[in-house]
Amino acid sequence: MDVAIVGASGYTGGDLIRLLLAHPHVRVVCATSRKLAGKPVVSVHPHLKGLIDLSFSNPSPDEMDADVAFLAVPHTAAMAYVRPLLARGMKVIDLSADYRLPREVYEKVYGVTHTDYFPAPYGIPEIHRDSYKNADFVSNPGCFPTGATLAAAPLARLAHTVIYDSKTGVSGAGDNPSATTHYPNVADNINPYKWTSHRHLAEMRQELAALGSRARCYFTPHLVPVNRGILTTAHILLHEPLDQADVDELYRKYYDGEFFVRLQNPVLAAVRGTNFCDIRAESEGERVVVVSAIDNLGKGASGQAIQNMNIICGFDEREGLTGAGLLP
């Protein structure tokens, strides 16, 4: 299958190319960048030198030809591509936030007008795959909501309060430098940010509700000096206490057969570069502390997007995604 990546010069676009090079059924035929059109893909992705012979281009959506398109562009940019690419017969996976929330919630949270809204499946495969395996379009979830939701899902219905505390690597902010991501601000430092108002909170609450939970939900992210990875500590306050054996059994059953969720002590390095989510839950009765680790560019973005492509194209979900993490 031919694949197009819109926004291929950025971090998630680069990781899509890297991962798709190991996919047996696809080849990347189009990699877009407005600023770098005409330049080789390896000019900004030197780790791919010798592995791909392709230059960036800047086609309009009506000029693009492929079987599948990934949209690895900022929110508001994706909405201009989705319908034209679907009309050309492509399957589309959107990594941006443009189709993750109902229109009115999206417009409130992101402070912009949606110019081409329609409801779309929210692609956390371990929770929703059955509802979208025949879809042509999938909205790929946010990075924080993916790690947080996978951590809480088995206990969601039993909880009255869920508090997510996340640490994220700097690539989560994309390749556009800013004061926040400037080296002296990040190195040897930890910065809490958007303590009570991060945009991903709306997705986290939406997912808890989708899981049948009525729990209150709170979220505080922290920027830590690593390139990749999100470690989320979920404090899950239960209506009734559960002992460790009950919690272990709940998680084992919930994720039975899920290749990409591994129940083991979560550390960032073990999931770096992969589509795995490592989770461990520890009970102290009415509070269960659950920690998850993902790569924000892997299970938090490009890896999960490829998993979603595999689902809607009828491939084995693991195709292209079985590489191990980088440890140490």
Rounded Cα gap, residues 303 and 298, in angstroms: 4
Decide if 313 is catalytic. no
Q: Count of alpha carbons within 13 Å of 195, Cβ hemisphere only?
A: 2
End-to-end CA distance of the chain: 35
Of the candidate spans 168-176, 200-208, 234-242, 262-270, the one that interacts with ligand NAP by CB under 6 A turns out to be 168-176
CA separation for the pair 217, 205 (Å, rounded): 6
Q: Which amino acid is present at 191?
A: N
Per-residue burial over 128-141, b if 16 or more Cβ lie within 10 Å, else e, is bbeebeebebbbbb
Catalytically annotated residue among 30, 143, 217, 277: 143
Indicate whether 145 belongs to the interface with ligand NAP (CB under 6 A): no
Q: According to CB under 6 A, which one of 52, 77, 135, 267 is a site residue for ligand NAP?
A: 77
User: Which stretch, 31-39, 212-220, 254-262, 280-288, contacts ligand NAP (CB under 6 A)?
Assistant: 31-39
Q: 71 and 94 in contact (C-beta within 8 Å)? A: yes
Binder among 3, 4, 10, 85 for ligand NAP (CB under 6 A): 10
The reply on whether position 75 binds ligand NAP by CB under 6 A is yes
Work out which of 176, 179, 187, 245 binds ligand NAP, going by CB under 6 A.
Answer: 176
Half-sphere exposure in the Cβ direction for 142 (13 Å, CA): 24
Write down the residue that tokens 């206990």 correspond to: 155
Q: Segment near ligand NAP (CB under 6 A), from 30-38, 113-121, 204-212, 264-272?
A: 30-38
Nearer to ligand NAP, 154 or 298 (CB): 298
Give the total of residues touching ligand NAP (CB under 6 A).
29
Separation of alpha carbons 30 and 58, rounded Å? 9
Minimum distance from residue 4 beta carbon to ligand NAP (Å): 12
Binding site for ligand NAP (CB under 6 A): 7-13, 33-36, 72-75, 77, 95-96, 142-143, 171-172, 174-176, 296-297, 300-301
Q: Which residue numbers are catalytic?
A: 143
